[in-house]
Amino acid sequence: MKRIISNEETAAVCMELSMLLHSGVSTGDALALLAEEGAHAKLFSSMAEQVDSGKTLSAALRESGSFSEYVCGLVQVGEETGKTEEALAALSRYYEDRVRLGRRVKSALLYPAIMLALMLVVIAVLLIKVMPVFDAVYASLGARLTGMAAGLMSIGRQLGAAMPVIWGALAALAVLGLLIALIPPLRAALARLWRTVLGDRGVSRKLNNARLAQAMAMGMASGLPLEEAVALSAGLVDSGAKKRCEYCRLRLENGASLSTALRDSELLPPRQCRILELGQRSGAGDVSMEKIARDLSEEGEAALDEKVSRVEPALVLLCSVLVGLILLSVMLPLMHIISAIG
């Protein structure tokens, strides 16, 4: 099975091909120049030979098996409409936006995950290591822990007894994380599973809508029929959004306008559909869709930032409350005992 090259590599390849074609270099020579760079040299050499033998760039891209169907389809449309250079440039911008957004999502999720792990470590240390110290202090004073403190002490003992199992589970998770990082097909399968279950809700739905609008803008600018633009765009999103794309395509085939079909299928919010309708009436539908894509992308990123901004203080507050309860549960009775002795 041939490996689909990453979004970052796709953006770079499309931009380089667009610049080379703009400078007057033939498609075969452009691919040969890309092969000289070393990265994916065999792939581009094979594609250059195919193009030199008479095949189109889109056919070479499709037969290579290393590019998504959307790349192949949009390049084919560009060739049919005489806008190959523009299609490649649009694809480069699109995949650059996807790479930037992907990095932003990863960085947004990484910090809360680290905070949660540290919070759990602090609480585990308090329960397993600190609570026995207080228990020994109470025993030396002829008392014992009761109430919440006794319950926490019991939890600490159980955690201490289960530490070998916990360390084994953590080691297994570390190995699994390493395998996911080193095996792209496994990482892609897990990502698809995640997107299938939770890929079209909340912030993910906003980001899906932005991605669809970007893809639609490229298709419309390249002269792609609306039904085909929607069908190709469906290949870039998760299963829930694919169903909405299919419904939109059926509405278009039944004679509905693009703005109406997008609104009925909930691919675009009503306000953006109104903007698109006005743009189509003025003959600037692709420009309107491009603006809508930018607006939706900004809205999605803002929603993501808002979610993260809520998670961080919530974790800090939760950690502070739990640590405070643990310490108060043992410190208050101890202060009473010391004051009684004094």
Chain segment 226-252, per-residue pLDDT in tens: 777 777 777 666 666 778 888 888 888
Dig out the tokens for 96 from the structure: 């650059």
> What pLDDT sits at residue 299?
84
Average pLDDT of span 47-71:
86
5: closest CA among 92, 67, 91, 71?
67
pTM above 0.75, yes or no: no
What span, in angstroms and rounded, lies between the C-alpha atoms of 75 and 69?
A: 10
Residue range 136-165: mean pLDDT, rounded:
74
Mean pLDDT of 285-297: 83
Return the pLDDT at 70: 73
Which tokens sit at 166? 């916990």
Extents of the domains making up the chain = 7-95, 98-342
User: Taking all residues of the chain, what is their mean pLDDT, rounded to a whole number?
Assistant: 78
Burial 5-25 (b: 16+ CB within 10 A, else e): bebebbbbbbbbbbebbeeee
pLDDT > 50? residue 336: yes
17-26, 43-52, 316-325: lowest mean pLDDT where? 316-325
**Which of the four pLDDT bands, split at 50, 70 and 90, describes residue 1?**
very low
Is the sign of the CA dihedral 36, 37, 38, 41 positive or negative?
Answer: negative
Lowest mean pLDDT among 22-36, 93-107, 267-281: 93-107
Q: Looking at the structure, give the CATH architecture of the domain made up of residues 7-95.
A: Up-down Bundle (1.20)
Q: Is 199's pLDDT higher than 60?
A: no
- Name which residue leads in pLDDT, 2 or 269: 269
